[in-house]
Structure 1
Amino acid sequence: MDFRNKRLRSSIHLEIDGLSLVIDTGPDFRTQMLTEAVSRLDAVIYTHEHKDHTAGLDDIRPFNFKQQMDIPLYGTNQVLEQIKGEFSYIFAETKYPGVPRVILNEISNSPFEIQGIRITPIQVMHHKLPVFGYRIGDFTYITDANYISPEEIEKIKGSKILVVNALQIKPHISHFTLSEALDFIKLIAPEKAYLTHISHQMGTHQEVTATLPPNVAISYDGLKLHL
């Protein structure tokens, strides 16, 4: 059986000049970090507030303990408000011992920096919900999108590596289909593109790979890219 057909929720770990970042802490966050032996976490960046991208936040506690520091979180006001409600015990006036320790950092649709690393948000639409993708250097990561405006597309152009969601083959209300993702990749024309946020309805890794252009591949758990 092909291990690439067993997928956990979408997330990505970035190492940039010694800085360790994670985009989204989904329900599988703990398993993902243990499997990949990630030993340090300097910050978490959120794309949006849905549970499949935030539910694993509590499991940053080992990093609090090991690093003896609060972990900065970056997200829109809407994302941070959802986190404050969902994880209210983190922000209680009288805290239970051992709760996660975080620092909330509100971001907008403008570039920001984390320890000198410039990060450019890219606002995409997830049906009617604004969601952020992110560009760092020549790398762009977009998940949960079914529409990207011409203005935001301009931020993506020139990316050498593009990761973008493709949920399934049939039409979907809030995600790119495979054909829509491929059309978008053709528009951006990166050197290499990877499909992510793939549902079980897409087909097997081998089946779908056989239909893809040479510069497009399916992401899989544990995939490592060196830029």
Structure 2
Amino acid sequence: MKITILGCGTSTGVPMVGCGCPICLSDDPKDKRTRASLLINYNDRAVLVDTSTDLRRQVLQHHIKRIDAVLFSHAHADHVNGIDDLRGFHFLHREIIPCFAARATLDTLQNGFSYIFTEHDGSGYTPLLVAHEISTSFELFGQTVIPVPLQHGKTFSYGYRIGNFAYLTDCSAIPDSSMDLLQGLDLLIIDGLRWTEHPYHFNITGAIAAARKMGAHRTIMTHLTHEISYSENGKLPSGFEFAYDGMEFQL
């Protein structure tokens, strides 16, 4: 299994529009962060997690030729507003792409992007995506995918576990029942927004505590703001790292 962090930035991206802080002005390419999305390759298939606002740029940069399925964490704009850029894959392969999400997430997507899911009379365009509501584990291309309910401030999101890997973006707390699903991970990618606290996201301290409770072997912090420089990696405990766009893992 190959995992690629296509984007590791928070909802504003880094640099943030109009900001002149040292990190937004940094020359380090690892401080340039597009909005959060992830690609998982296994069994000759490509599974995308979230269609970030920057999806077109990410797909072109990484020379991605096909997407076989999409997992959605939740329906906030920075995680779904690139959904229209899936059209290119549909035009190339003439295949309807399955997508998987909680019912509330699908409702928002189908209301906001109805043309992607339904064929409008007389348009001649077929649907691009077919929606699958999920609440428990399911099989996808020979692997078991486990949706993991997460608290995201006063709302919720799904994390996902496949094998000994889990991706938990946009979370501020992990219910005990979900923590039980996350034991024994070789690789964890988790929301670690910034050093200071935030009502809707783990800060660095919270992410470290959660990862230790899971017993994760290696932990990567993602969904990062312009308050974190990649050069601060040395401040993290052993086994913890900051993400950067294009970071890859083989499991």
TM-score after normalising by structure 1: 0.95
User: For the residues of structure 2 that align with 1:130 and 1:67, how far apart are their CA atoms?
Assistant: 34
Greater RCO structure (CA 8 Å; 6+ sep): 2
Tell me the SS of whatever aligns to 1:58: helix
Of residues 14, 18, 38 in structure 2, which corresponds to 1:12? 38
Number of residues paired by the alignment?
A: 224
Of residues 217, 231, 237 in structure 2, which corresponds to 1:206? 231
Tell me the SS of whatever aligns to 1:104: strand
User: For the residues of structure 1 that align with 2:66 and 2:190, how far apart are their CA atoms?
Assistant: 26
Quote the offset at 1:88 in angstroms: 2.2
**Taking every aligned residue pair, what percent have the same amino acid on both sides?**
31
User: For the residues of structure 2 that align with 1:194 and 1:95, how far apart are their CA atoms?
Assistant: 48
Are the structure 2 counterparts of residues 101 and 63 from structure 1 closer, same or farther at C-alpha, using a change threshold of 3 Å?
same
User: For the residues of structure 2 that align with 1:166 and 1:33, how far apart are their CA atoms?
Assistant: 24
Tell me, which stretches of 5 or more residues in structure 2 are unaligned? 1-26
The answer on whether the counterparts of 1:61 and 1:98 sit within 8 Å (CA) in structure 2 is: no
> Partner of 2:186 in structure 1?
160
The answer on whether the counterparts of 2:43 and 2:142 sit within 8 Å (CA) in structure 1 is: no
Q: Give the superposed CA RMSD.
A: 1.3
> Partner of 2:12 in structure 1?
none
TM-score after normalising by structure 2: 0.86
Of residues 153, 160, 165 in structure 2, which corresponds to 1:127? 153
> Partner of 1:104 in structure 2?
131
> Partner of 2:101 in structure 1?
75
> Partner of 2:17 in structure 1?
none
> Partner of 2:4 in structure 1?
none
Residues 11-58 of structure 1: per-residue CA shift (max 9 Å, x gap): 100001111100000110111111111111100010001111100111
Quote the offset at 1:92 in angstroms: 5.2
Tell me, which stretches of 5 or more residues in structure 1 are unaligned? none
User: For the residues of structure 2 that align with 1:125 and 1:178, how far apart are their CA atoms?
Assistant: 16
Tell me the SS of whatever aligns to 1:210: helix
